[in-house]
Structure 1
């Protein structure tokens, strides 16, 4: 085999090895040959794209759905078309690629689809199959902070009257410092609980991810639990008033917004009675917020003030 090694490499620009809009990626294409070899062309390609795939089974019928979207496809000719001979040994061809500006979703991968940003090299020889080498890089798009209200503090208050498993009233106020958070930030939650009932309760914090796959004739929604926090020590005794604070890191939450795939995150705070015979969840606060373009995990309360009604289970 004449070509022993054909690969593409790039240099990191930070400790996380991530790139964003406008960053320059410097790298090299490596070609190692065992003897003098004719090369017709050598091309570098920077590409960003999204793909979703979905299968549904209806009795004896199976339906396949898919959709693709491309954000950029930039080519650089390292060796232009025309036969050129390279000598035996290892050859390094440097390249420099600037990540395009504009709205593009961050790198993402799930069972139903993915968003990929990659560097690719193509080597063509006469009368032979084109050889390819590729390397994926992690792209995190810049946050759009111009959306009104993103940095405003959020608050919701709900109340519940016990009837079946006790008596009295419990009130819960939930506060967050802002509506939107970057992927590397921390969500700080403060919950003020006024338990004027005969039942001890415990707060539970859960974050759900709702994935939306947007196909031409159908919208597919998949909801999954991504984070949960239930501390058994956080017990609010009957006839007491307690403030509970919770800190949740958000590094695992970012996801895409693009034409074919969207992520929404739901923050859910509920109180669970500690009695075994009364395990139903009460006083559920749930938001239903959309990921803010492009790297903000938005964990917003639906509306401010006292208008939220509790949900019962």
Structure 2
């Protein structure tokens, strides 16, 4: 092969290597050839897009559901022959470096994301065409980070208001031997990546069975195409409390630490969104496990230190 090396690279503009709306995306295309070559066209493209794809079985057929959206598309011509296709442009032998730059549009666009049935990608592609039969291609993706402080605001303005508010819920379950009451509390709904929060489960077990609280971080991915919806869920166990014996009460507290690289909550993409919940279940023998879910919004940014708070008095007392 005459072309020994062909690559496209972008320059880092910050320590994270991420780009955002309004930034200048610059980089270079490197070509190494063993001898002089004729070129029909040589260009580099920048593209931002979202795409979802999945198959569903409908009767005897497998039906494709897909959708895509383009956020921006730019093309920069590095070399072009004088008459289209005549190969009159010559590139000399050796190493050649060609710089380029694009301005990313200043509009609301979602961050880079890869899910079960869809992805949001921002990429650079370079094409070097010598003839209709000989085209060299290279590609790289660059991480894009939305500038929107609240990329979920379109879901509900009430989410923004409640980010720092305490969240709590109560559930009462009945089994053959008595009543089980659980109250779950988290200190706030909005957490930054890497941040920690205490989650408490207060259990009043008036049954004849021992119950065990379990704490989960729940992820929900939703994809939409052609009026069809596909949902992918995943539960991450982050704590198991001590068992609450029959005819007793106990408060169990676990610390949820948001993984630093877990993608932030977003709803600013029309084809997919990502949301989270805190879920606490009670493991009850021979009974469908009761559960409580609390809303959770994961925010971009550096975590705040966990604030140690004085424990509140138990909200119930066992009745004699």
Report the TM-score when normalising by structure 1. 0.77
Judged with a 3 Å threshold, the aligned counterparts in structure 2 of structure 1 residues 213 and 168 are, in CA distance, closer, same or farther, namely closer
Question: Offset of 1:5 from its aligned partner?
Answer: 1.6
Instruction: Tell me if the contact between 2:239 and 2:254 (Cα under 8 Å) persists in the aligned partners.
Output: no
Judged with a 3 Å threshold, the aligned counterparts in structure 2 of structure 1 residues 169 and 67 are, in CA distance, closer, same or farther, namely closer
Separation (CA, whole Å) in 2 of partners of 1:91 and 1:2: 14
Give the structure 1 partner of residue 62 of structure 2: 62
Question: Offset of 1:288 from its aligned partner?
Answer: 6.3
| DSSP 3-state at the match of 1:141 | coil
Separation (CA, whole Å) in 2 of partners of 1:180 and 1:286: 15
Judged with a 3 Å threshold, the aligned counterparts in structure 2 of structure 1 residues 226 and 70 are, in CA distance, closer, same or farther, namely farther
Instruction: Tell me if the contact between 2:108 and 2:148 (Cα under 8 Å) persists in the aligned partners.
Output: no
Instruction: Tell me if the contact between 1:108 and 1:255 (Cα under 8 Å) persists in the aligned partners.
Output: no
Judged with a 3 Å threshold, the aligned counterparts in structure 2 of structure 1 residues 248 and 141 are, in CA distance, closer, same or farther, namely same
Judged with a 3 Å threshold, the aligned counterparts in structure 2 of structure 1 residues 107 and 71 are, in CA distance, closer, same or farther, namely same
Per mean C-alpha deviation after superposition, the further-off stretch among 88-97 and 202-211 is 202-211
Choose from 109, 117, 125 the match for 2:122. Answer: 117
Judged with a 3 Å threshold, the aligned counterparts in structure 2 of structure 1 residues 176 and 80 are, in CA distance, closer, same or farther, namely farther
Query: Structure 1 residue 235 and structure 2 residue 243: aligned?
Result: yes
Give the structure 2 partner of residue 270 of structure 1: 281
| DSSP 3-state at the match of 2:161 | coil
| DSSP 3-state at the match of 1:101 | coil
Give the structure 1 partner of residue 72 of structure 2: 72
Separation (CA, whole Å) in 2 of partners of 1:259 and 1:81: 41
Question: Offset of 1:17 from its aligned partner?
Answer: 3.4
Separation (CA, whole Å) in 1 of partners of 2:211 and 2:142: 46
RMSD, aligned CA: 3.0
Judged with a 3 Å threshold, the aligned counterparts in structure 2 of structure 1 residues 163 and 58 are, in CA distance, closer, same or farther, namely closer
Separation (CA, whole Å) in 1 of partners of 2:56 and 2:203: 48
Instruction: Tell me if the contact between 1:142 and 1:295 (Cα under 8 Å) persists in the aligned partners.
Output: no
Instruction: Tell me if the contact between 2:175 and 2:287 (Cα under 8 Å) persists in the aligned partners.
Output: no
Instruction: Identify unmatched segments of 5+ residues in structure 1.
Output: 297-313
Instruction: Tell me if the contact between 2:200 and 2:253 (Cα under 8 Å) persists in the aligned partners.
Output: yes
Equivalent residue pairs, number = 285
Give the structure 2 partner of residue 245 of structure 1: 254
Give the structure 1 partner of residue 106 of structure 2: 101
Instruction: Tell me if the contact between 1:107 and 1:256 (Cα under 8 Å) persists in the aligned partners.
Output: no
Question: Offset of 1:120 from its aligned partner?
Answer: 1.1
Instruction: Identify unmatched segments of 5+ residues in structure 2.
Output: 83-87, 302-320
Separation (CA, whole Å) in 2 of partners of 1:246 and 1:279: 27
Question: Offset of 1:194 from its aligned partner?
Answer: 4.7
Per mean C-alpha deviation after superposition, the further-off stretch among 80-89 and 57-66 is 80-89
Question: Offset of 1:30 from its aligned partner?
Answer: 0.6
Separation (CA, whole Å) in 2 of partners of 1:88 and 1:46: 27
Per mean C-alpha deviation after superposition, the further-off stretch among 155-164 and 29-38 is 155-164
Question: Offset of 1:242 from its aligned partner?
Answer: 2.1
Question: Offset of 1:287 from its aligned partner?
Answer: 4.1
Give the structure 1 partner of residue 12 of structure 2: 12
Separation (CA, whole Å) in 1 of partners of 2:8 and 2:66: 30
Give the structure 1 partner of residue 163 of structure 2: 151
What are the equivalent positions in structure 2 for 1:43-58 lying under 5 Å apart? 43-58=43-58
Separation (CA, whole Å) in 1 of partners of 2:289 and 2:175: 14
Report the TM-score when normalising by structure 2. 0.76
Deviation track 1:272-304 (CA, whole Å, cap 9, x = no partner) reads 24xxx445423x212467x78x969xxxxxxxx
Question: Offset of 1:73 from its aligned partner?
Answer: 0.4
Instruction: Tell me if the contact between 2:40 and 2:129 (Cα under 8 Å) persists in the aligned partners.
Output: yes
